[in-house]
Chains A and B, each alone.
Chain A
Amino acid sequence: MHDQNKLWRIALYGVLLYAAVYYLLPLYVMVTTSVKSMDEIRAGNLIALPMSITFDAWTKAWATACTGVDCNGLSGYFWNSVKMVIPAVLISTSLGALNGYVLSKWRFKGSELTFALILFGVFIPFQVVLLPMAQTLGWFGLARSVAGLIFVHVVFGIASTTLFFRNYYVGIPDELIKAARLDGAGFWRIFFKVVLPMSTPIVMVVLIWQFTQIWNDFLFGVVFSSGDSQPITVGLNNLANTSTSVKEYNVDMAAAIIAALPTIVVYVLAGKYFVRGLTAGAVKG
Chain B
Amino acid sequence: MTQFNGPAQYGFAERWLPRLVLAPSFLLTLVFVYGFIAWNGYLSFTASRLLPNYEWVGLAQYETLFANERAWVAVKNLFIFGGLFIGGGMAMGILLAVFLDQKIRGEGVLRTLYLYPMALSFIVTGTAWKWMLNPGLGLEKLVHDWGFTSFTFDWLVNPDMSIYTVVIAGIWQSSGFVMALFLAGLRGIDDSIIKAAQIDGASLPRIYWRIVLPALRPVFFSTLMILAHIAIKSFDLVMALTGGGPGFSSDVPATFMYASAFTRGQMGVGAASAMMMLATVAAIVVPYLYSELRGSRNA
Contact = CB atoms under 8 A, between A and B. Distances in A.
Interface string B219-244: 10011001001001101100110010
A244 to B, nearest CB: 15
Contact of A237 (B52, B119, B141, B239): B239
A12 B293 CA distance: 39
A95 interface: yes
Interface stretch (A49-57, A62-70, A116-124, A195-203): A116-124
Contacts of A116: 293
Interface stretch (B60-68, B156-164, B273-281): B273-281
Contacts of B57: none
Given A187-B14, A218-B123, A129 B222 contact: no
B245 to A, nearest CB: 10
A17 to B, nearest CB: 8
Interface string B247-263: 00000011001100110
Among A19, A135, A253, A259, the one with the most B-chain Cβ atoms within 10 Å of its Cβ is A19
Given A20-B113, A23-B116, A129-B33, A118 B26 contact: yes
B121 A26 contact: no
Contacts of B223: 282
A279 B184 contact: yes
Nearest to A101: B21
B26 A117 contact: yes
Of B4, B29, B275, the most chain A CB neighbours within 10 A belong to: B29
Contacts of A12: 99, 102, 104
Interface string A98-121: 110111001010010010111111
Interface in B137-194: 137-139, 141-142, 145, 172, 176-177, 180-181, 184
B121 A259 contact: yes
B110 A16 contact: yes
Contacts of B232: 125
A41 interface: yes
A125 B78 CA distance: 14
B50 interface: no
A205 to B, nearest CB: 14
Contacts, number: 259
B100 interface: yes
B180 A123 contact: no
Contact of B99 (A15, A29, A274): A15
Given A130-B274, A182-B4, A223-B262, A20 B114 contact: yes
B33 A23 contact: no
B29 A285 contact: no
Q: Is the interface of A mostly helix, strand, loop or mixed?
A: helix
Interface in B108-139: 110, 112-125, 127-132, 134, 137-139
Interface stretch (B37-45, B69-77, B82-90, B207-215): B37-45
Most chain B beta-carbon contacts within 10 A, residue among A131, A186, A216, A256: A131
Given A46-B132, A47-B142, A125-B254, A260 B124 contact: yes
A125 B278 contact: yes
B235 A279 contact: no
A131 B271 contact: yes
Contact of B110 (A20, A108, A182): A20
Interface in A32-81: 33, 41-42, 45-47
A47 B24 CA distance: 53
A278 B128 contact: no
A131 B120 CA distance: 27
B281 A132 contact: no
Interface in B1-43: 2, 4, 7, 11, 13-14, 17-19, 21-22, 24-26, 28-30, 32-37, 39-40, 43
Interface of A: 12-13, 15-16, 19-20, 22-24, 26-27, 29-30, 33, 41-42, 45-47, 95, 98-99, 101-103, 106, 108, 111, 114, 116-121, 123-133, 135, 155-156, 158-159, 162, 178, 181-182, 186-188, 212, 215-219, 222-223, 233, 236-237, 240-241, 249, 252-253, 255-256, 259-260, 263-264, 266-267, 271, 274-275, 278-279, 282-283, 285
28 contacts: A15-B99, A16-B100, A16-B104, A20-B113, A23-B114, A33-B131, A41-B137, A101-B21, A108-B7, A111-B18, A121-B29, A127-B277, A130-B257, A131-B39, A156-B32, A158-B25, A158-B29, A187-B21, A218-B240, A233-B121, A249-B134, A253-B127, A256-B127, A266-B119, A274-B118, A278-B181, A282-B223, A285-B292
Name the 7 nearest CB pairs between A and B, nearest first: A216-B121, A106-B18, A267-B119, A218-B236, A127-B274, A132-B36, A132-B39
